[in-house]
């Protein structure tokens, strides 16, 4: 039979036609009358992709719909609209990975910070909840995650308990990052309602941190230890000795640069940004400290960059000193030597409390009191550090 201008239609019966275009292409058509008596034509697919048998089956199904009072084309359009609305909801893990990939670089350009986000939100800590659909994550899910049993190992010591208290700092960061990811999901229209991470923090309450005092060496044992340490030739050994003699925090010692050293004035000035309390700190340099500087560079006044570099000329990692101590079978923490100095300064040297605290770069008194306290006791600290230097060298003659 003739069809529209320029094409022909072959009737199969029951309203099924094969429409053939002038180009030679062909497609199946189902013709029927709707409830208003209007002739409608519904496409069933191209030929030969849809063969005669399949076309007849589809026609019969549409005729069944029509007998039931439904409009086949209307039903098809409704089904398509419903399918379009049925978006697959991503899992928490998928949203977290997307946030780490697309959004975290905008929060921080530091690659380490980006890695930390991925680590805490990845399988290492979030494995139990990563497979949950983002719109199904509940407060109970996050509370249970924070209460999961975990083991913390540090310098050969093991602590066990809930993640929320055993690894308090990590858990706190994880909770904040989950809150951010869930807020992001809400902004993307992927979930509604209260942020379960906020409610979980309320449920869990303040973190009952497991307090671990860093292991330290008794001050009476420091000179003998230094005799052994000076026999080591590694950069980490020189760094650790320098840190012990200066009583400075490990990170502040690792980051020391030649530009901070004034050999003529015998002063090491650490800029505020590198200090814990963001306040510039002056360290008196003793004879042995200056010897160590000469060991690190034959001509310190011409040297540049980091004083105690790694093999790649960067800053040594915080693991370098720990590994050295383990090889020496000394079960202490590098930071613990500050405690050794503090006890020696008070019990043996009889140093004034504020002088010993200033030597450790501790903040003394309230903010108001510090405003009136204009001195850093530098001259008294120099005398104290010279005394500490002499004491630390006393093991050499034993």
104 and 198 belong to one structural domain: yes
Give the CATH number of the domain where residue 243 resides.
1.10.443
Q: Please count the CA atoms within 13 angstroms of the CA of 217 that sit on its side-chain side.
A: 20
Q: What is the rounded (10 degree) CA torsion for 363, 366, 371, 374?
A: -50
Per the structure, how many domains does the chain have? 3
261 and 390 belong to one structural domain: yes
Is 362 a domain residue? yes
258 and 299 belong to one structural domain: yes
Q: What's the pLDDT score for residue 368? A: 44
Q: Which of 68, 85, 102 represents a domain boundary (last residue)?
A: 85
What is the mean pLDDT, run by run of 10 residues, along the chain of 398 residues?
Answer: 66 92 89 91 91 93 91 87 74 96 86 87 95 96 94 69 88 94 94 94 80 72 94 95 97 95 96 92 97 93 91 84 90 91 94 92 62 68 97 77
- Long-range contacts, 293-297 (Cβ 8 Å, 24+): 293/261, 293/263, 295/238, 296/235, 296/238, 297/258
Is 56 a domain residue? yes
Q: What's the pLDDT score for residue 159? A: 78
Q: What's the pLDDT score for residue 78? A: 85
This prediction has a pTM of: 0.51
Give the CATH number of the domain where residue 149 resides.
1.10.150
346 and 242 belong to one structural domain: yes
Is 227 a domain residue? yes
Q: Which of 146, 174, 204 represents a domain boundary (last residue)?
A: 204
Give the CATH number of the domain where residue 24 resides.
3.30.160.390
273 and 331 belong to one structural domain: yes
Structural domain range at position 40: 7-85
Q: What's the pLDDT score for residue 110? A: 75
Those residues whose C-beta lies under 8 Å from the C-beta of residue 142, and which sit 6 or more positions away, are: 129, 175, 178, 196, 197, 200
241 and 369 belong to one structural domain: yes
Q: What's the pLDDT score for residue 145? A: 96
Q: What's the pLDDT score for residue 372? A: 44
CA–CA distances in Å: residue 262 to residues 241, 248, 270, 292: 19, 17, 11, 14
Q: What's the pLDDT score for residue 371? A: 46
257 and 185 belong to one structural domain: no
Q: Which of 155, 180, 204 represents a domain boundary (last residue)?
A: 204
250 and 339 belong to one structural domain: yes
Distance from C-alpha of 372 to C-alpha of 362, rounded to nearest angstrom: 16
């Amino acid at each position: 039979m003739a069809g529209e201008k320029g094409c022909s239609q072959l009737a199969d019966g029951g309203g099924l036609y094969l429409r053939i275009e002038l180009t030679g292409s062909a497609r199946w058509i189902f013709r029927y009358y709707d409830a208003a008596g209007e002739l409608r034509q519904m496409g069933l697919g191209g030929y030969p992709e849809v063969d005669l048998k399949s076309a007849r089956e589809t026609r019969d199904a549409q005729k069944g719909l029509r007998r039931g009072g439904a409009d086949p084309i209307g039903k098809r359009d409704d089904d398509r609209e419903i399918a379009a609305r049925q978006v697959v909801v991503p899992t928490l893990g998928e949203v977290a990975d997307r946030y780490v990939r697309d959004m975290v670089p905008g929060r921080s350009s530091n690659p380490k910070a980006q890695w930390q986000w991925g680590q805490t939100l990845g399988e290492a800590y979030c494995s139990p909840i990563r497979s949950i659909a983002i719109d199904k994550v509940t407060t109970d899910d996050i509370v249970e995650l924070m209460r999961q049993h975990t083991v913390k190992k540090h310098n050969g010591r093991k602590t066990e308990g809930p993640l929320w208290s055993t690894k308090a700092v990590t858990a706190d960061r994880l909770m904040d990052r989950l809150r951010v990811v869930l807020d992001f999901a809400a902004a993307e229209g992927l979930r509604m309602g209260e942020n379960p991470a906020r409610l979980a923090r309320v449920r869990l309450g303040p973190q009952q941190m497991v307090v671990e005092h860093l292991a330290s060496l008794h001050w009476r044992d420091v000179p003998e230890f230094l005799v052994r340490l000076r026999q080591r030739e590694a950069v980490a050994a020189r760094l650790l000795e320098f840190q012990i003699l200066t009583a400075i925090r490990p990170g502040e010692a690792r980051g020391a640069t030649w530009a901070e050293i004034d050999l003529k004035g015998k002063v090491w000035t650490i800029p505020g940004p590198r200090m814990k309390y963001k306040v510039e700190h002056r360290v008196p340099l003793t004879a042995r400290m200056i010897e160590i500087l000469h060991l690190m560079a034959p001509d310190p006044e011409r040297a540049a960059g980091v004083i105690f570099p790694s093999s790649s000329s960067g800053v040594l990692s915080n693991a370098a000193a720990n590994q050295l101590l383990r090889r020496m079978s000394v079960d202490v923490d590098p930071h613990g030597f500050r405690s050794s100095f503090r006890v020696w300064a008070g019990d043996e040297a009889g140093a004034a409390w504020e002088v010993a605290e200033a030597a450790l770069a501790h903040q003394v008194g309230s903010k108001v009191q510090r405003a009136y306290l204009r001195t850093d006791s530098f001259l008294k600290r120099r005398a104290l550090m010279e005394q500490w230097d002499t004491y630390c060298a006393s093991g050499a003659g034993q």
